[in-house]
Amino acid sequence: MALNELNGILTTIGNTPLVRLDKIMPRLKAQVYAKIERFNPGGSIKDRPAISMLLGKIQAGELKPAQSVVVESSSGNMAIGLAQVCRYFGLHFICVVDAKTTEQNIAILRAFQATVEVVEEPDPVTGEYLAVRLRRVRELVEKDPNAYWPDQYANPLNPRSHEETMREIAEALDGRVDHLLCTVSTTGTLRGCVDYVRKHGMTTRAVAVDAVGSVLFGAPIGRRLIPGHGASVRPALFDPAMADEVVHVTDLDCVVGCRRLTLREAILAGGSSGAVVAALEKLAPTIPDGSNCVLILADGGDRYLDTIYSDAWVNKHFGEVSHLWKDEPGPRVTTC
């Protein structure tokens, strides 16, 4: 059973739009395109690996409705992607999240009938939750013979699903993709895209956009406010050779990138989308005129209304910084 042999909502995964952004950096003499992954039915790029990691097992009869239990650690998009796929196939899903997971995401998971386990205490040494969440997943899987852990951090089907993402981009641009800017966490998206690029002899320069405070490329661990990109533990999928270049961005860079995307292009996007916009701005002086640059916008902004798009939240964490995006003409307000 391939994705195109399914019926129902899951057939709408993939084939997301690639749109040209003429306004985001008007002085850049290159074409900028955005792959808008919020159009996947679960709202993010993670729908692709979610279906990819489960479908083969369902097809082989290894995962059975009302009997098998899927267990994964994720506090955001992968959780929602898996919850949706499990609901469709009648599989029980236990999602291990942590105290930083938003109420909205927990509500979405519960709407899909997932069981949500919240890890309350971070690792005492690093102050991070990921290692504790993964320990809890192992415990759950060890005690239940019907449990399956897709393990997005190590499963090769995660990057393989993103070869399709790159195929869609390459075909839309007749194979001419000069720069690909992609955020990293499990590194599945970037690895899959780069695998496609190499298999097809493309000359695309792959730019990994990582968070300041993420350990992926050997930088010191630090506090990060914006979920999605970055990692506190280097995943098994990590391969340093997948990136031609690495750009680190701060939380504030993400906020500014997101706000500019909304004001200039009318795109309400998630934190890691702001990260790729910020990275493009940093790289702009090195991008040759006429290049095709593709930004992967991993999710939408609706899940960040209380943070990135809240003036009060931004003020609390960064002070008064609205001048960084307020060069834009605002809405006309008329009073009568």
Ligand X SMILES: Cc1ncc(COP(=O)(O)O)c(C=O)c1O
For ligand X, give the closer residue by CB, 28 or 298.
298
Q: Does 298 bind ligand X (CB under 6 A)?
A: yes
Among 86, 132, 141, 184, binds ligand X (CB under 6 A): 184
**∠216-35-30 over CA atoms, to 5°?**
90
Instruction: Pick between residue 68 and residue 133 the one whose CB is nearest to ligand X.
Output: 133
* Cα(134)–Cα(210) distance, integer angstroms: 21
**CB-wise, 68 or 204, nearer to ligand X?**
204
| CA angle, residues 134, 224, 308, in degrees to nearest 5 | 115
| Residue 187 binds ligand X (CB under 6 A) | yes
- Type of residue found at 157: L
227: β partners: none
Tell me which residues in 76-105 interact with ligand X (CB under 6 A): 76-78
HSE of 158, CA atoms in CB hemisphere, 13 A: 24
> How far is CA 72 from its chain centroid?
16
Within 60-79, the residues that bind ligand X by CB under 6 A are 76-78
Give least dist CB 226 to ligand X, A: 9
Q: What is the smallest separation between the CB atom of 238 and ligand X, expressed in angstroms?
A: 10
The answer to whether 268 touches 8, Cβ cutoff 8 Å, is no
Tell whether residue 186 is a contact of ligand X (CB under 6 A).
Answer: yes
Q: Smaller CB distance to ligand X: residue 116 or 181? A: 181
Among 272, 277, 283, 307, the residue binding ligand X under the rule CB under 6 A is 272
- Nearest Cα to 70, choosing from 49, 46, 54? 54
Look at residues 252, 280, 258, 262 and name the one whose alpha carbon lies nearest to residue 270. 258
Residue 164 CB contacts under 8 Å (≥ 6 apart), including other chains: 14, 48, 192
Output the smallest distance, CB 290 to ligand X, in A: 28
Tell me the window of 182-190, 199-207, 276-284, 318-326 that interacts with ligand X (CB under 6 A): 182-190
Does residue 209 interact with ligand X by CB under 6 A? no
Q: Is position 270 an interface residue for ligand X (rule: CB under 6 A)? A: yes
Site residues, ligand X (CB under 6 A): 44, 46, 76-78, 183-189, 228-229, 270, 272, 298-299
